[in-house]
Homo-oligomer: A and B are copies of this chain.
Amino acid sequence: MNNFSYRNTTQIHFGKGQIAKIKDEVPADARVLITYGGGSIKKNGVFDQVAQALDGVSFIEFGGIEANPHFETLMKAVEIVKKENINFILAVGGGSVIDGSKFIAAAARYPNDPWEIIQTYGAKVTAAVPLGCVLTLAATGSEMNNGAVITKAATQDKLFFFSEHVQPRFSVLDPETTFSLPARQTGNGVVDSFVHVVEQYVTYPVNAKVQDRFAEGLILNLLEDGPKALANPTDYDVRANLMWTATMALNGLIATGVPADWATHLIGQEITGLYGLDHGQTLAVVLPAVWIYKKEQKKGKLLQYAERIWGLTDGDDDSRITAAIENTRTFFEKMGVPTRLSAYGLDESVIPAVMQKLEQHGHTQLGEHADITPADVKEILKLAL
């Protein structure tokens, strides 16, 4: 096991009815900005629960944060935060709303051009407006970590930043808020969580047994309950298990003391930035290709994955690995997320565009060994056509 430092300060309130806990978490004299997305929270009762919990607290709203939240949109909220002396942000939504709200929180207290936050990966952030979350989609884990992914629409740049200052003070996770999700978002969320886990697990062995067993448990949960959520969207326990699994997948816990391979996310982000595919769709396309391309290097962990997740113990190493990767692909497809670029109308013209963006962003050494160059990405994307 590698050395690590770990701490996670977010207060979680999990379960039905827990939105009411907001009133204990938001200071009574706060001036709150409620941020949200396309407005589904106004139809499914979530906004009403939030407003009721904030009874007596001053708040204004900022809706319309899109998927892959745009810098341009978020800067409008930053102006409101400054003009209205907002001192608490309550993000109500999925990962895009929460990520966007993290950026708003940091940008509103940032002395220079806020795009610099992204360009410096958050390293220069020294303050942020306090943030709380009401999660409505099991997927990104943003509700219990300090990262965010932001897109500058004008230049098709999808990039991330981290700062302890945007770690949510609290997050409410009520599985009932996810009952009314479209199947596409449920499927994307399961794929996103799945890929988060395996990017911290399918690397090389360091004999970190807690982390491996936890990762394997999360994967098994997604395999079991992901399809159930598509079949029975209002099954509380299924939604609860997916929600807590997604949070655990990216709250830093399974990352402790192990290497990580974020190549799939970094390549996928460029595809979303350039072509607008859903985040989960890009991951479903890229992950199997990364694994096929790197199967020798990842052999130890891929064999462990094949055995402990898929029960594959017969046949030679290569056939077990190939079967495990194919099973993974089949699972993503079962979740309604196609795993080939061609399924989204994209062809090999994608390749040079993604390579160029990665170079432009300085992401030229990806993977747990930092040895995936743009030339390797070319080969990986050929496997994803």
Contacts and interface: CB of A to CB of B under 8 A. Distances in A.
Interface stretch (A66-74, A204-212, A297-305): A204-212
A14 B255 CA distance: 13
Given A245-B210, A248-B210, A7 B7 contact: no
Interface in A238-252: 240-241, 244-245, 248
Interface string A209-247: 110111011101100110000000000010011001100
A212 B217 CA distance: 8
A38 interface: no
Interface stretch (A16-24, A92-100, A330-338): A16-24
A12 interface: yes
Contact of A2 (B15, B21, B241, B248): B15
Given A21-B5, A218-B213, A241 B15 contact: no
A312 to B, nearest CB: 17
Contact of A14 (B4, B9, B14, B214): B4
A17 B5 contact: no
A127 to B, nearest CB: 20
A257 interface: yes
A13 interface: yes
A156 interface: no
Interface string A82-113: 00000000000000000000000000000000
A221 B225 contact: no
A305 to B, nearest CB: 15
A225 B8 CA distance: 27
B6 A14 contact: yes
Contacts of A17: 3
Interface string A16-37: 1110010000000000000000
Contact of A1 (B11, B15, B214, B216): B15
B7 A15 contact: no
A223 B224 CA distance: 26
What 5 pairs across the A-B complex have the smallest Cβ distances?
Answer: A213-B217, A3-B15, A207-B237, A7-B11, A209-B241
15 contacts: A3-B14, A3-B16, A3-B17, A6-B11, A6-B12, A7-B12, A12-B256, A208-B240, A209-B221, A209-B224, A210-B221, A210-B244, A212-B217, A213-B216, A213-B218
Interface of A: 1-18, 21, 207-210, 212-214, 216-218, 220-221, 224-225, 237, 240-241, 244-245, 248, 253, 256-257
